[in-house]
Structures are given as C-alpha cells and as structure tokens.
Amino acid sequence: MRHTLPIAPQFYVTAPQPCPYLPGRMERKLFTSLQGEYAEKLNDALSKQGFRRSQNVLYRPSCAECSACLSARIRVADFTPSKSQRRADRRGGHLVREATSPWATEDQYRLFRAYLDSRHADGGMADMDIFEFAAMIEETPIRSRVIEYTAGEGDDRTLAAVCLTDVLDDGLSMVYSFYDPDLAASSLGTYVILDHIRIAKEAGLPYVYLGYWVPGSPKMGYKARFSALEVYRGGTWVELGDPDAYSSDTHPLSTDPIAEQVAQISLPDSRPTKG
C-alpha cells in the first residue's frame, strides 16, 4: 500500500545580523527552501503561519529575545477605507494597471533605484544591482505577477509604481512594492495596497498579505492604518485592535526554542491538487 506523507522540508536559522526595523537589535530568521512540484502548496500553507517569500526561500523572524515582527493581512470583505485612503484612491485613479509575468525590465530597475535612493538609502537592498533585482523578480517557483501602474499615454507613458505579487489560495501577498519618489505626495504606496484589495475582492480572495508590521518601527507604521487588519500572534490570526497596546520590548522568553517552533509548523500533504 502506498502511503501519502506530509511534505518534510528542512528548516534552518540565519546567523544574527542587525535588525532593519528596530535600532540596536539583532534579527534572526527561520527559513526553508521553496522548490519542486509542491512549492505552491508549501507557500500557501506557510504564508498562513506568518512566513514570507523571498525568491525561492520562505522565512519567518525568529529572534532570540524579540517577537515584535508580526505578519499582517487585511480581511478584504471587512475593509473600509478611511477618509485619507479614499483621497489617495482618487489621486491614483488616473493610473493604468497591468499585470504581467514576473519578468524584470530596465524601467522597473530605474524606478526601483530611485525609490531606494530616496527612501531606503541605508537599507539592506541599497546595494542591489540589476542582476540581483532581476533575481528578486524572476526567481519564483509559484504563481507570481508583476503589477505595473503607469501614467500618461503613448510615448508619454511613464512607470509610476510596481508591485511583485504572489497569488495564494486565500489571497494576494504583496512581496515587494516601490514607486516614483517624486510622486510621494500622491500616496502611491497606499494606492497600490487599495488596488490590491480591489483585485482580491474581484477574484474572490479573502485576504491581502502585507508582510510584517513592527510596533515601534516608523517604517512599518502605515500598515496599522488599514482597517480589518489581522496579525499572526501566538500561532493564530487575531484582530490588530489598538496598535499602541503592542510592545516591542525584548524578553528572554519571547520566542520558543527553534526545535519547538519547527515542531509546531503545520505542513501540507504531498497529494497533488486535483484539477
């Protein structure tokens, strides 16, 4: 008799390195490779457990004395935009959206470099060259799309914003987005999230995954301004509630030992999905 076993990926831990969100902290990640015919199932299952994708790797923060980073997602059906978000949606209404296969272009890279140089010049991606950028966009073993937003028409058409988006079985995961820093007053970052909520609703997908929300980090504060926001905390998704009620204080018992974390991960079975 043939038995179907769960997928059993190997999990690893990165060496500690400076945290990009909270000064004076060291970050550590739990990660596994994403490859083979069950990559999509594994990505779907682990995304529901606070993991994020970067190329062909799935990772989740696993810092020794800090548990501030919380995976965040918007419940599409319950989302209601604020007044400022409605204004941002109107300001971006002239943009034309086009979803394409994950293929990097020189126009995308120019916009990416301008965005980094303006907003994240000291970040971990600051030295990324065009080949590394292409790898970020193109190295995906799952169903991914590059969603471009352009302004103007014909020869005057310009690229205003880009988002690398994964299509999960329960939502859209915004892997990485960037936009023209000269148009920052138009709240393009907010507009791109609002448009993803719109796309998810049209597709009947219940969630838009935003990555990590980090209390105490100004870079991540904007995510808490979206209604119907859930965070993955203590092994389950819970309503965010009051953002000020969350603490970024360190504590030696804030995270379980790695072996316990891995044992608690729920893996998909290896049966192929029926078409």
For the domain that residue 191 is a member of, what is the CATH number?
Answer: 3.40.630.30
Enumerate residues 6+ apart whose C-beta is below 8 A from 31: 11, 12, 13, 14, 57, 58, 59, 60
Helix (H) or strand (E) holding 12: strand 12-13
> Could you tell me the pTM of the whole model?
0.92
Confidence of residue 123 (pLDDT cuts 50, 70, 90): low
Range of the domain at 131: 12-263
Provide the β-strand partners of residue 4: none
Is residue 46 included in any domain, yes or no? yes
Closest CA to 174 of 190, 160, 151: 190
Confidence of residue 256 (pLDDT cuts 50, 70, 90): confident
Is residue 134 included in any domain, yes or no? yes
What is the helix, strand, coil percentage profile of the chain, to 5? 30, 25, 40
Q: What strands, in cross-sheet order, belong to the sheet with 70-75?
A: 96-100, 144-151, 158-167, 171-179, 207-213, 70-75, 229-233, 236-239
Q: What is the pLDDT of residues 160-215, one digit of tens each?
A: 999 999 999 999 999 999 999 988 788 999 999 999 999 999 999 999 999 999 99
pLDDT at 55 exceeding the cut of 90: yes
Helix (H) or strand (E) holding 100: strand 96-100
Q: What is the pLDDT of residues 15-50, one digit of tens each?
A: 999 998 999 999 999 999 998 889 999 999 999 999
Is residue 94 included in any domain, yes or no? yes
Is residue 275 included in any domain, yes or no? no
Half-sphere exposure of 236 (CA within 13 A, CB side): 2
Q: What is the pLDDT of residues 73-90, one digit of tens each?
A: 999 999 999 999 999 999
Closest CA to 91 of 191, 220, 241: 191
Encoded amino acid at 95, one letter: L
Is residue 2 included in any domain, yes or no? no
Is residue 273 included in any domain, yes or no? no
Closest CA to 5 of 260, 268, 273: 268
Q: What radius of gyration, in Å, describes the C-alpha atoms of the chain?
A: 19
How many domains are there within the chain? Answer: 1
